[in-house]
């Protein structure tokens, strides 16, 4: 679990990626946050419960400063699946950050805390973003209970393609992968070189559950690889592990079910008639049904 958490954080921890995510999702692509104006903040905070001291850790947190004055604390949380009580977690993170300011005698002006949740699921977030909707709240108490809205939750797989084009960092390729595979069941990579190959592959490995992304690092350069090269490495790794080299049925099974290539793209890549590809996919589906 610790390795999973680290892999989710490593890409967004780069200042160019962090600033890019904030600029696109909060400011519609305007360069409001400059990477050189960011500095790392402590990700851990403590709270007391049941007479014991507990620790909570955020994914990635950075101070945004301008002219040596702290303007805001920005935090990014990654979620691969919906979590019912996520608003309570966000309250805990934000509250701890404000309390830290309150206890710091050198702080004269309280700066805002902004938490962003990046949700990578292929279905919409199906839980409430409001605190009061998570509480069994009698009607006569409603006027007296402060609500808390989890405002900045972004469903990455449901971004519009034109939004994806606004990204300038490696996060563009991650977002593009999830948007394309949700919309088309297929992914055709855009041209361009990755600056943080290792971090991108680790993040994709964690979010998709496909460890071949991480294993592909063995045959890719640390910087400058393109996503088409990544997919070729992932595909070859899958073929090796499945021991299906030379068998078109095995290749099609990996390309269709694991990499989510369209039948048309498989036919083009394997130099096969589309009808033959469809016949094999149909036979594989029939075989899977028989196993059930």
Q: What percent of the chain has pLDDT over 70?
A: 85
Going by their DSSP bridges, the two strands 38-40 and 44-49 should be labelled as unpaired
Give the Cα separation of 235 and 240 in Å (integer). 9
User: When comparing pLDDT for 47 and 195, which is higher?
Assistant: 195
The CA-atom distances, in angstroms, between 288 and each of 149, 235, 243, 256, 281 are: 44, 21, 19, 14, 11
Residue 291 reports pLDDT greater than 70: no
The CA-atom distances, in angstroms, between 141 and each of 1, 130, 145, 219 are: 40, 16, 7, 61
Name the band, by pLDDT with cuts 50, 70 and 90, for residue 280: confident
Give the Cα separation of 115 and 291 in Å (integer). 46
Give the Cα separation of 67 and 252 in Å (integer). 57
**Per-residue model confidence (pLDDT) at position 211:** 82
User: When comparing pLDDT for 196 and 283, which is higher?
Assistant: 196
**Per-residue model confidence (pLDDT) at position 234:** 79
**Per-residue model confidence (pLDDT) at position 214:** 83
User: Of 290, 286, 259, 280, nearest to 188 (Cα)?
Assistant: 259
Q: Average of pLDDT values for 94-109?
A: 86
Name the band, by pLDDT with cuts 50, 70 and 90, for residue 252: confident
Backbone angles phi, psi at 257, to 5 degrees: -90, -35
User: When comparing pLDDT for 169 and 247, which is higher?
Assistant: 169
**Per-residue model confidence (pLDDT) at position 52:** 45
Give the Cα separation of 241 and 133 in Å (integer). 47
**Per-residue model confidence (pLDDT) at position 244:** 40
Q: What percent of the chain has pLDDT over 90?
A: 38
Residue 49 reports pLDDT greater than 60: no
**Per-residue model confidence (pLDDT) at position 282:** 85
**Per-residue model confidence (pLDDT) at position 288:** 57
Mean pLDDT of the chain: 83
Q: Average of pLDDT values for 133-160?
A: 92
Name the band, by pLDDT with cuts 50, 70 and 90, for residue 53: very low
User: When comparing pLDDT for 246 and 189, which is higher?
Assistant: 189
**Per-residue model confidence (pLDDT) at position 243:** 45
Question: pLDDT tens for residues 240-251?
Answer: 554 444 457 777
Quick one: tokens of 237?
Answer: 């790794």
Residue 195 reports pLDDT greater than 80: yes
Whole-prediction pTM: 0.75
Question: pLDDT tens for residues 104-144?
Answer: 888 788 889 999 999 999 999 999 999 999 999 899 998 99
Q: Which residue is it, tokens 């309570």?
A: 88
**Per-residue model confidence (pLDDT) at position 238:** 56
Name the band, by pLDDT with cuts 50, 70 and 90, for residue 3: very low
Q: Reduce the secondary structure of the chain to three states and give it as a string.
A: CHHHHHHHHHCCCCHHHHHHHHHHHHHCCCCCCCHHHEEECCCEEEEEECCEEEEEECCEEEEEEECCEEEEEEEEEEECCCCCCHHHHHHHHHHHHHHHHHHCCCCCCCCCEEEEEEECCCCCCCCCCECHHHCCCCHHHHHHCCCCECCCEEEHHHCCHHHHCCCCCCHHHHHHHHHHHHHHCCCCCCCCECCCHHHHHHHHHHHHCCCHHHHHHHHCCCCCCEHHHHHHHHHHHHHHHHCCCCCHHHHHHHHHHHCCCCHHHHHHHHCCCHHHHHHHHHHHHHHHHHHC
**Per-residue model confidence (pLDDT) at position 16:** 96
CA geometry: angle 258, 170, 218, nearest 5 deg = 55
Burial class (CB within 10 angstroms; exposed 0-12, middle 13-18, buried 19+) of 161:
exposed
Q: Average of pLDDT values for 70-87?
A: 89
């Amino acid at each position: 679990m610790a390795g999973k958490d680290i892999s989710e954080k490593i890409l967004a921890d780069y200042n160019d990626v962090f600033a890019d995510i904030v600029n696109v999702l909060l400011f519609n692509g305007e360069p409001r946050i400059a990477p050189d104006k960011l500095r790392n903040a402590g990700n851990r905070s403590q709270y007391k419960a049941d007479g014991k001291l507990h620790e909570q850790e955020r994914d990635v947190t950075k101070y945004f400063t301008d002219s040596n004055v702290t303007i805001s604390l920005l935090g990014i949380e990654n979620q691969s699946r919906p979590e019912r009580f996520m608003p309570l977690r966000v309250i805990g993170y934000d509250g701890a950050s404000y309390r830290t300011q309150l206890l710091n005698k050198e702080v004269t002006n309280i700066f805002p805390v902004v938490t962003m949740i990046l949700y990578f699921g292929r279905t919409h977030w199906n839980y409430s973003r409001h605190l009061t909707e998570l509480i069994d709240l009698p009607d006569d108490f409603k006027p007296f209970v402060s609500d808390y809205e989890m405002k900045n939750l972004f469903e990455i797989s449901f971004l519009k393609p034109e939004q994806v084009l606004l990204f300038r960092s490696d996060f563009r390729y991650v977002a593009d992968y999830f948007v394309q595979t949700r919309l088309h069941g297929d992914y055709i990579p855009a041209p361009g070189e990755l600056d943080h190959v290792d971090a991108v592959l680790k993040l994709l490995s964690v979010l998709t559950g496909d460890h071949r992304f991480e294993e592909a690092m063995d045959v890719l350069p640390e910087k400058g690889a393109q996503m088409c090269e990544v997919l070729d490495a992932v595909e070859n790794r899958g073929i090796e592990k499945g021991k299906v080299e030379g068998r078109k049925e095995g290749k099609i099974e990996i390309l269709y079910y694991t990499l989510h290539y369209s039948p048309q793209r498989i036919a083009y890549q394997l130099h096969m008639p589309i009808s033959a590809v469809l016949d094999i996919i149909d036979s594989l589906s029939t075989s899977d049904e028989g196993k059930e």
